[in-house]
Structure 1
Amino acid sequence: MSTKQRIAIVTGANKGVGLAAVRQLALKYPTSPLNTGGSLLIYLAARSPERGEEAVQTLLDDAQLREAGVLVQQGGSVTVKFRELDIGSAESVAALGEFLKKEHESGVDVVINNAGIALKGFDSAIVRETIRTNYHGTLDVCTTLLPLLKPSPQSRLVNVASISGMLDAYSPAIQANFHAAVNKGSIPAVTALMEKFQHSVDADRVEEAGFVKRAYGVSKAGVIAFSKVLAEQQRQDGVVVNACCPGYVATSMTEHMDRPGAITPDEGARTLVMLALQDLDGKRGEFWREEKVVEW
């Protein structure tokens, strides 16, 4: 296999922002700094093989992709393939890692962690499932695939978080704990904060503990925090790690709710794809929204 071939993985990519990210990677790769004369293989990763394969077919039938001629089926250099992945299953994540290690010995170039859940309601069970998937599942993908990323500033890990993971709603003590965990470079300290949140929910003392009653938001605060830690850990190898918010996107996760400021999946995917393909002027370990760094 040619070493000029670039490899990208997008999780949670059978619909919404994830599918839009695959689509935009295909459209924008040919003119991006990542293209040094080779091809791009994108793995569209999702839990359901049926929905994943349908998503690949959707891209093959996409009018804009056909007009641009970027896919190999239209004479271009970009290939999209489905790959099964459930980030809530350690076995599934490990299987993806083993597949990529065997199939692409020279390494991979881009990982966009978009998969996640947003459950209705707020109780101990919902918090436990949300933290397990959004925090631990995303972290598991990161720790499994980071060793496979080529040691280069062109190698990118993009973790999709949310503006709901901003720290301004927490108590000063909890905010300080998040920042201390990042400054110490300690993922276990970030994980301890997720556990503290769970305990506060179990004891019905969320606000007294300094947290907020937002399972999704707290899980994404954890993702932002460990992304910052990973960015520093990867600095020597050159791999660029960032987190971002796609914005309030009208998708199945938001039940396609139409509200002021709601954007399309394509609009939501712009920041993800920019962080994956473009020159970031040395910026890493940042939290981005609307293609700009925002204060966490």
Structure 2
Amino acid sequence: MSYTRVGVVTGANKGIGLAIVRNLALQYPKSPLNNGPLLIYLTARDNTKGEEALRSLQQDSQLTKAKALTSDGGLAEIKYHTLDIADSKSIASFAEYLQNTHGDGVDFIINNAGIAMQGFDANVVKTTLGCNYYGTLEASNTFLPRLKETGRLVNLGSMSGHLNSQFSDAVREDFLASKTVPDVTKLMERFTSAVEAGNEKKQGWPSAEYAVSKSGVIGMTRAVAAAEKAKGSKVLINSCCPGWVQTDMTKGKGAKTPDEGAKTPVMLALEDIGGRSGLFWQHERPIDW
């Protein structure tokens, strides 16, 4: 089967990622970008969990009722592919697959994959930033050339990465002053060094590796968008917060269901957003970082 649109969702075997895939299939028929069949790659680092997630969607009552999938006469087909954004070889392998299989490019990438660990020490910080910041950065840089001229890149940040009172004024100002990816990366390195020295709070950082990693994602996404715009690229690049969602990561707590949390990233992938790029979104609208 041939597809007129192709999209990728990372970390999609459960929670928000799985809900994003479901809602892409449900919302696509009403999207102004709908111009024919859509192929969605559900990606995950664990093959067994990824295949189980795919089967769950193929049997999903919402999708069946809406006749959203091609097997029911709809427009969307979902396929599974292995991808671990914390593994450079995995990122490169999937990028090569996309190039070989979809030589004309893909339409959107939604980088949802991320981790939240228990405890706080230098190793936890290194592992968390390695996936959430450096992994998302590498995936963004590697997949950008695979996007079509009018493609979209959506990176999931978090309100935990909002530049609120958990950061000192000086650190907050440094984040806001960052213009390039190296600027943001230096901030991640500063935080890591501060934790290793045991004085992150004295230097104005919270003892919260997940929050800092998501601040990095928001700042990095803004910087990547600016760099692409300077090249004359029409690709729209944004970050967003899905909200406080009931997932394993929040231990079932939260004010939103996964489907509600999927609304903003799905909108950024499928709706007319007026050409806006480099922004941080929540509740389907851009907000101040």
2:213 aligned residue: 219
Look up the equivalent residue of 1:293 and give its one-letter code: P
Shift of the alpha carbon at 1:268? 0.4
Q: Secondary structure at the match of 1:230?
A: helix
CA distance in 2 between counterparts of 1:234 and 1:40 reads 26
How many pairs does the alignment contain? 286
Q: Secondary structure at the match of 1:234?
A: helix
Shift of the alpha carbon at 1:229? 0.9
CA distance in 1 between counterparts of 2:228 and 2:28 reads 24
2:96 aligned residue: 98
Q: 1:92-241 maps to which residues of 2 (within 5 A)?
A: 92-152=90-150, 155-168=151-164, 169-182=166-179, 186-235=180-229, 236-241=232-237
2:17 counterpart of 1:18: yes
Shift of the alpha carbon at 1:282? 2.5
Look up the equivalent residue of 2:21 and give its one-letter code: V
Q: 1:101-157, CA deviations, whole angstroms, 9 ceiling, x for partnerless residues? A: 1100000001000000000111111011000010000001100100110111xx111
Look up the equivalent residue of 1:11 and give its one-letter code: T
CA distance in 1 between counterparts of 2:106 and 2:66 reads 25
CA distance in 1 between counterparts of 2:55 and 2:227 reads 38
Look up the equivalent residue of 1:79 and give its one-letter code: E
Look up the equivalent residue of 1:198 and give its one-letter code: T
1:84 aligned residue: 82
2:265 aligned residue: 272
CA distance in 2 between counterparts of 1:16 and 1:102 reads 30
Shift of the alpha carbon at 1:234? 2.2
CA distance in 2 between counterparts of 1:162 and 1:293 reads 13
After TM superposition, the score normalised by the length of structure 1 is 0.94
After TM superposition, the score normalised by the length of structure 2 is 0.97
Shift of the alpha carbon at 1:165? 0.4
CA distance in 1 between counterparts of 2:160 and 2:126 reads 18
Identity of aligned residues (%): 48
Shift of the alpha carbon at 1:77? 1.8
Cα RMSD (Å): 1.1
Unaligned runs of 5+ in 2: none
Q: Secondary structure at the match of 1:109?
A: strand
Shift of the alpha carbon at 1:264? 0.6
1:28 aligned residue: 27
Shift of the alpha carbon at 1:191? 0.5
Look up the equivalent residue of 1:27 and give its one-letter code: L
Shift of the alpha carbon at 1:233? 2.0
Q: Secondary structure at the match of 1:79?
A: strand
Look up the equivalent residue of 1:150 and give its one-letter code: K
Q: Secondary structure at the match of 2:237?
A: strand
Q: 1:177-221, CA deviations, whole angstroms, 9 ceiling, x for partnerless residues? A: 112212xxx111111110100000011111111111110000000
Q: Secondary structure at the match of 2:206?
A: coil
Look up the equivalent residue of 2:46 and give its one-letter code: S
Look up the equivalent residue of 1:190 and give its one-letter code: V
CA distance in 2 between counterparts of 1:131 and 1:113 reads 15
CA distance in 2 between counterparts of 1:215 and 1:94 reads 26
1:293 aligned residue: 286
Shift of the alpha carbon at 1:63? 1.0
Q: Secondary structure at the match of 1:101?
A: helix
